[in-house]
């Protein structure tokens, strides 16, 4: 098949959408398909490039001010039309309903190419970064959900990464006439496995392995609520010695470092900044327990990667996290923004090696059901069905 993937967020941008769209492109190309991705330029000017086994058409773009390393294409229709005409795809898979997604949807509908659209976005991910709009966040979130429903109604098949993600859109889902299915983002289980952390990665970031390590790997943006994790960690230290490992970067990085300084925790917290894909794999093996305080997750690839690497999970009971963090089985769910409860659950795990090992084993079992190869096969089946129809 000739498969075109449209993604307003794509590598090297770091977030779940970008990670999934790249994993999808690479995986489909490995299966023998010809894959083209349309994504925003990283320099501002349009160009083409090859990322391993697939090609990328980069459309002209400008920086988006609310996320680091995020470019947005303002008016990509002509570039999109040219790319589609030259590539002649059998099927289109749209990852976001921003400018490139809109242009691809419009032209794909016009010339009759089958379209699959996946919703990865929660309005809260944007609204938490636009703090001036906080007083009107609820009605704006509702309108954005209705907009998303109208957008996805124009495709031939809609997927979200979890059933919980579908349920979270409530009545807006009823406005989508096309078939909707939960298909996991998946992760490459050949890359994330249980093993001892490397001495090299520990030495590079000077991680004190004599203490339990509470880890977070992901974006450092406002909607992740990482200040709650830092305040929970402060409570943990009142009971036992531990270290907090925060991996990633984002618009909230400076605020989080300032909070750590004000609380007197700078020596007990490692901020790695941006790291490579290989370093992410290695750092997932360092943690004793992984904590996800974000309430706005439609699945959370980073949490899946931590689970596959053998970490128990402490997460908030919000979004779709309960499908991954199964309370009492492979970790604990906590009330949103309750740093006292999060601290208590972290302490339960790091202070009880037997419980930690039991939950580690269960994390691996759950992660095993989210193999990227299963995801790829399901999308191939969806594409084939739409093409045949």
> Would you say residue 211 has pLDDT above 60?
yes
pLDDT digits (tens, 9 = 90+) for 132-148: 444 544 554 545 566 77
> What are the b/e assignments for 348-381, b being 16+ CB within 10 Å?
bbbeeeeebeebbebbbebbeebbbeebbeebbe
Is the torsion defined by CA of 364, 225, 251, 25 positive or negative?
positive
For residues 191 and 198, is the Cβ–Cβ distance under 8 A?
no
- Percentage of the chain surpassing pLDDT 90? 82
Most confident residue range from 145-154, 173-182, 357-366: 357-366
Do the bridges between strand 47-51 and strand 157-160 make them parallel or antiparallel, or are there none, so unpaired? unpaired
pLDDT for 150: 86
Where residue 52 falls (left for φ over 0; alpha for ψ -120 to 50; beta otherwise) is left
pLDDT for 143: 52
- Percentage of the chain surpassing pLDDT 70? 91
DSSP sequence for 13-39: S-SHHHHHHHHHHHHHHHTT-EEEEEE
What is the CB neighbour count within 10 angstroms for residue 258? 11
**SS3 of 292-333:** ECCCCCCCCHHHHHHHHCCCCEEEECCCCHHHCCCECCCEEE
DSSP sequence for 115-169: EEEE----HHHHHTT-GGGGGGHHHHHHHHHHHHHHHHTTSSEEEES-HHHHHHT
Confidence of residue 129 (pLDDT cuts 50, 70, 90): very low
CATH architecture classification, 2-186+371-388: 3-Layer(aba) Sandwich (3.40)
pLDDT digits (tens, 9 = 90+) for 263-285: 999 999 999 999 999 999 999 99
pLDDT for 327: 97
pLDDT for 170: 66
Residue written as token pair 């084993």: 361
Confidence of residue 168 (pLDDT cuts 50, 70, 90): confident
pLDDT for 140: 47
Question: 205 is written with which tokens?
Answer: 């970031």
**Backbone φ and ψ of 288, nearest 5°:** -85, -35
pLDDT for 64: 83
pLDDT digits (tens, 9 = 90+) for 254-263: 999 999 999 9
Eight-state DSSP code of residue 369: G
Q: How many residues belong to the chain?
A: 389
> What gap in Å lies between CA 290 and CA 245, rounded to an integer?
9
Say yes or no: do domains 2-186+371-388 and 199-369 share a fold: yes
pLDDT for 132: 44
Fold entry, domain 199-369: Rossmann fold (3.40.50)
pLDDT for 362: 98
| Burial (CB count <10 Å: 0-12, 13-18, 19+), residue 248 | buried
Strand order in the sheet with 115-118: 47-51, 54-59, 34-40, 2-6, 91-94, 115-118, 157-160, 180-182
Q: Which of 168-177, 294-303, 378-387 has the lowest mean pLDDT?
A: 168-177
> What gap in Å lies between CA 357 and CA 45, rounded to an integer?
50
pLDDT for 127: 43
Q: Which of 16-25, 102-111, 143-152, 219-228 has the lowest mean pLDDT?
A: 143-152
Mean pLDDT for the chain overall: 92
Do the bridges between strand 54-59 and strand 47-51 make them parallel or antiparallel, or are there none, so unpaired? antiparallel
- Domains of the chain: which residue ranges? 2-186+371-388, 199-369
pLDDT digits (tens, 9 = 90+) for 169-198: 766 666 677 899 999 999 999 999 999 999
> Would you say residue 57 has pLDDT above 90?
yes
The whole-model pTM stands at 0.90
pLDDT digits (tens, 9 = 90+) for 74-107: 999 999 999 999 999 999 999 999 999 999 999 9
Confidence of residue 20 (pLDDT cuts 50, 70, 90): very high
Confidence of residue 38 (pLDDT cuts 50, 70, 90): very high
């Amino acid at each position: 098949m000739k498969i075109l993937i449209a993604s307003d967020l794509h590598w090297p941008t770091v977030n779940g959408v970008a990670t999934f769209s790249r994993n999808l492109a690479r995986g489909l190309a490995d299966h023998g398909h010809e894959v083209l991705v349309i994504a925003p330029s990283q320099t501002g000017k349009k160009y083409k490039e090859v990322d391993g086994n697939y090609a990328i058409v980069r459309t002209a773009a400008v920086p988006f001010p609310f996320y680091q390393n995020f470019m947005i294409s303002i008016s990509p229709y002509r570039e999109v039309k040219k790319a589609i005409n030259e590539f002649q795809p059998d099927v289109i898979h749209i990852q976001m309903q921003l400018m490139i997604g809109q242009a691809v949807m419009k032209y794909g509908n016009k010339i009759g190419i089958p379209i699959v659209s996946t919703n990865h976005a929660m309005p809260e991910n944007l609204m938490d970064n636009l703090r001036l709009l906080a007083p009107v966040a609820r009605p704006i979130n509702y309108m954005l959900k209705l907009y998303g429903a109208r957008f996805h109604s124009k495709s031939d098949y809609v997927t979200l990464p979890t059933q919980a993600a579908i349920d979270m859109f409530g009545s807006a889902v009823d406005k989508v006439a096309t078939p909707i299915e939960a298909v996991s983002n998946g992760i490459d289980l050949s890359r994330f496995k249980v093993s001892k952390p490397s001495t090299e990665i520990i030495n590079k970031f000077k991680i004190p392995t004599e203490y339990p390590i509470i880890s977070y790997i992901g974006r450092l943006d406002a909607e992740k609520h990482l200040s709650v994790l830092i305040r929970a960690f402060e409570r943990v230290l009142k009971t036992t010695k531990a270290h907090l490992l925060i991996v990633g970067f984002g618009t909230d990085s400076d605020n989080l470092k300032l909070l750590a300084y004000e609380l007197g925790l700078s020596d007990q917290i490692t901020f790695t900044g941006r790291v490579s894909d290989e370093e992410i794999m290695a750092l997932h093996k360092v943690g004793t327990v992984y904590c996800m305080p974000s309430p706005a997750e439609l699945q959370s690839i980073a949490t899946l990667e931590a689970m596959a690497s053998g970490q128990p999970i402490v997460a908030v009971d919000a979004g779709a996290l309960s499908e991954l963090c199964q309370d009492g089985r492979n970790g604990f769910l906590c009330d949103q923004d309750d740093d006292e409860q999060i601290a208590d659950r972290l302490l339960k795990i790091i202070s009880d090696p037997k419980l930690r090992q039991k939950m580690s084993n269960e994390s691996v079992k759950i992660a095993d059901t989210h193999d990227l190869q299963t995801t790829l096969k399901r999308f191939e089946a969806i594409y084939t069905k739409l093409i045949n129809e």
